């Protein structure tokens, strides 16, 4: 069975193709901006580029649309106008070529592609992207949320600090390289509430340092504090669940300092640590195709008449049947 997957939750429009064993295609275009994402502008950008990305994916796989056995698309969570670009294309393809269709949860797809690449079976998952910050694990057929942010996502916090420092969006990689040259650790608010996190106090305090401390010291102090908060709750979840694998996924998972902190943390727990390659950590169509493949393969297919996008679709609402 060959499945084509469409990603369009936020800034990336991607089309991936898989046979369930390997990547046959993974093409994308990304909407670039200096401020935050403007949903309508991002969706217009996607609308203009969607057919080219689809054609490129089919061409790089050496396939015709008629060779595809099923269509998957990211149904949520995400920005409504963007989600509808991918959803509309998926529904058109499914109806016109008479293929089964599945709506995939974007967060579950981030997890599934990581498990697939690293060969993990039952990891503690730390999912850190622009909008999301969650610590999860499989229990009773669902990804249960053990801890999460109570306000903004870790990536958003980094991007907002970046904007105050005059950096372009997404600021993650630039904050990371500035932090590498930080010399002084400035004390900043560290807010862990039980298993949950809040970042706004820390962010406000860090923004106040702009102009008083060097950008390097601000980036360094911010990263050390915010990552330590995340690693602390992740360690508690690991000790409690006694899982043997820790999987770090999402855009922020690219950060080398964060990976280093996780590597150190898992050692005394005799757990493995891993994170997917950049192409799979950022938003991409392949992760949607792969998760769609698993869903279709386990007998899940949706009614073509009833598909609507779900802007706020929680990871723990999905039944994991595969």
80 is a site residue for ligand ATP (CB under 6 A): no
d(CA 207, CA 158): 11
Q: Is the dihedral of CA 176, 178, 182, 188 positive or negative?
A: negative
Residue selected from 8, 18, 26, 129 as contacting ligand ATP according to rule CB under 6 A: 129
Q: Measured over all CA atoms, what is the biggest interatomic distance in the chain, rounded to whole angstroms? A: 62
Residue 252 binds: one of ligand ATP, Fe ion, none (C-beta under 5 to 8 A by kind): ligand ATP
Residue 173 binds: one of Fe ion, ligand ATP, none (C-beta under 5 to 8 A by kind): ligand ATP
Binding site for Fe ion (CB under 5 A): 129, 283
Least distance to ligand ATP from the beta carbon of 233, Å? 18
Residue 171 binds: one of ligand ATP, Fe ion, none (C-beta under 5 to 8 A by kind): ligand ATP
The structure tokens 């195709």 sit at 289
Contact between residue 9 and residue 106 where contact means Cβ atoms under 8 Å apart: yes
Residue 159 binds: one of Fe ion, ligand ATP, none (C-beta under 5 to 8 A by kind): ligand ATP
d(CA 321, CA 143): 11
Joined together, the tokens standing for residue 19 give: 């046979």
Contact between residue 187 and residue 199 where contact means Cβ atoms under 8 Å apart: no
Of 68 and 109, nearer to ligand ATP (C-beta) is 109
84 is a site residue for ligand ATP (CB under 6 A): no
221 is a site residue for ligand ATP (CB under 6 A): no
Of 159 and 235, nearer to Fe ion (C-beta) is 159
Least distance to ligand ATP from the beta carbon of 73, Å? 14
Residues 140-169 that bind ligand ATP (CB under 6 A): 153, 155, 158-159
The structure tokens 């579950």 sit at 108
Calculate the CA 297 to chain-centre distance. Answer: 23
Of 13 and 146, nearer to ligand ATP (C-beta) is 13
114 is a site residue for ligand ATP (CB under 6 A): no
Cα-Cα end-to-end distance for the chain: 16
d(CA 295, CA 171): 34
Cis before 116? omega within 30: no
Least distance to ligand ATP from the beta carbon of 171, Å? 5
Joined together, the tokens standing for residue 49 give: 């580029």
A 10 A CB-CB count for 200 gives 15
Residue 282 binds: one of ligand ATP, Fe ion, none (C-beta under 5 to 8 A by kind): ligand ATP
Positions that interact with ligand ATP (CB under 6 A):
9-11, 78, 106, 110, 129-132, 153, 155, 158-159, 170-173, 176, 250-252, 254-255, 282-283
């Amino acid at each position: 069975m060959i499945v084509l997957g469409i990603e369009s939750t936020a800034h990336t429009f991607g089309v991936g193709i898989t046979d369930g064993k390997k990547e046959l295609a993974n093409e994308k275009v990304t909407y670039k901006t200096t401020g935050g994402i403007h949903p309508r502008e991002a969706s217009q950008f996607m609308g203009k580029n969607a057919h080219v990305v689809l054609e490129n994916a089919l061409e790089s796989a050496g396939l015709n649309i008629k060779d595809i056995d099923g269509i998957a698309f990211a149904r949520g969570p995400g920005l409504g106008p963007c989600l509808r670009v991918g959803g509309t294309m998926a529904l058109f393809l499914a109806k016109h070529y008479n293929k089964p269709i599945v709506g995939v949860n974007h967060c579950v797809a981030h997890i599934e592609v990581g498990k697939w690449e690293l060969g993990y079976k039952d990891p503690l998952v730390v999912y850190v992207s622009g909008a999301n910050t969650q610590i999860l694990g499989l229990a009773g057929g669902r990804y249960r949320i053990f801890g999460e942010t109570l306000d903004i996502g870790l990536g958003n916090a980094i991007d907002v600090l970046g904007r105050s420092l005059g950096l372009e969006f997404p600021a993650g990689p630039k904050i990371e390289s500035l932090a590498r040259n930080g010399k002084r650790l400035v004390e900043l608010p560290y807010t862990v509430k039980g298993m949950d996190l809040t970042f706004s106090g820390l962010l406000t305090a860090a923004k106040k340092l702009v102009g008083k401390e060097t950008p390097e010291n601000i980036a360094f102090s911010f990263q050390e504090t915010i990552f330590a908060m995340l690693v602390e709750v992740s360690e508690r979840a690991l000790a409690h669940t006694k899982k043997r694998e820790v999987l770090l996924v999402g855009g922020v998972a690219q950060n080398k300092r964060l990976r280093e902190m996780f590597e150190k943390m898992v050692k005394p727990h005799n757990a493995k640590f891993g994170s997917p390659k950049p192409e799979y950590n950022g938003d991409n169509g392949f992760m949607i195709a792969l998760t769609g493949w698993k869903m279709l393969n386990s007998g899940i297919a949706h009614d073509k008449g009833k598909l609507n996008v779900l802007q706020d679709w929680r990871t723990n609402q999905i039944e994991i049947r595969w």
